[in-house]
Structures are given as structure tokens and as C-alpha cells.
Structure 1
């Protein structure tokens, strides 16, 4: 299983960026997301950025990944606190799939 995690760019070069998540820093391939700047948030899979995130979205992803990490460590988790964007809302079908309902 591959889970994307948010990293923040600290330093950028052509097609790569030194990024940080907590105390961890690593070089991330940014070829798929185009030009970025220091301070940008990236959704990273296997050391490759797949999406540029808003700070708010990066926080949501971090909370969800943190919940998964705590559950896997056997810790108790209040999932409503970790997935606030999903609580009390109906699931939304992506726009590209809506025509298939007709």
C-alpha cells in the first residue's frame, strides 16, 4: 500500500526540492507538478510529488496520516478529530463520474 504524505518545500532546484515533514528532510522529485517555490506543500508518494497542496489541505492529510499511524501502533484514536472534513457530510462523487449515473 502506498500512502501520500504532505511535505513542505524548503529549497528548490530544477525538477527537485528539499522537503521537510516533521524532523525528516529528503529530496523530492517535482517533475510531475511543475515549478514550485520554497514554502509550497506537496503530496508525496515514494519520493515523488504528485500534487501541490494548499496549507489547509496539507493539514487535513497530515491529520489523516497521523490517525493511520496511531491506529497501526495500537493507540486509541478519535477518528472524528482526525477526519474533520468528512464528518457530517455526504460523500461527493467526482465530477468526471457524475455522467455515469444517468
Structure 2
């Protein structure tokens, strides 16, 4: 599984940024997202910023990663998935139109 980490830009030039996450500092390529101002949260995978995040999305990703770590350690994790706990999963938009009125996806062809 590939996991991107939310990091905050602390210094940047046109092509790279120094990013920080929980005390860890990394030099990150900005070629996929373009120049970004200091303070911008970005999703980093293999040394490359792959997407600009809003602060709330960065927090939710951090919570999810903390939740996985807590679950693996046998600890409480439900509070870290508060946005998912009390709701049914939603179908992606491209599947909603294909679902029948009962809400079941069509069979494979």
C-alpha cells in the first residue's frame, strides 16, 4: 500500500520546498503542484508533493494515520475516524447512476 503524508511547507523556491511533519523535515519536489507559499499543507509521497491540501483535509489524513497506528497497537481509534463512524458509506458519483433503486450495484458483465 502506498501512503502519502500531509506535510507543511516551511520554505520554498520555484521547484522544491522544505516540508515539516511532526518534527521531521524533508526536501520535497513541487513539480506536480507548482510553486506554493510557506504554510501550505501538501500531500507528500516518495519525496514529491502530489496534491495541495486544505488544513481540514490534512488534519483528517493525520487522524486516519493515527487511527491505523492506534488500531495496530490495540488502542482506541474510533475518535480518530469521527467523520466516518456515524454514517453509512456513500457510493462514488460514478456508481450512484449505475445503482438500482434498491441501492445495489449492477452485476459484473
Question: Shorter-normalised TM-score: what interval?
Answer: 0.7 to 0.9
Question: Which structure has the larger Rg?
Answer: 2
List gaps (5 residues or longer) in structure 2: 101-109
Q: Which whole-Å CA distance do the structure 1 matches of 2:12 and 2:92 have between them? A: 32
Q: How does 1:40-51 map to 2 (within 5 A)?
A: 40-51=40-51
State the shift of 1:97 in Å.
4.2
List gaps (5 residues or longer) in structure 1: none
Counting matched residue pairs gives 100
Q: Who is 2:63 aligned against?
A: 63
Q: Who is 2:93 aligned against?
A: 95
Q: CA RMSD in A?
A: 1.7
State the shift of 1:65 in Å.
0.9
In the superposition, the TM-score normalised over structure 2's length comes to 0.79
Of stretches 27-36 and 88-97 in structure 1, the one that deviates more from structure 2 is: 88-97
Q: Who is 2:82 aligned against?
A: 84
Structure 1 pair 78–70 and aligned structure 2 pair: CA distance change class (3 A): closer
Q: Who is 2:7 aligned against?
A: 7
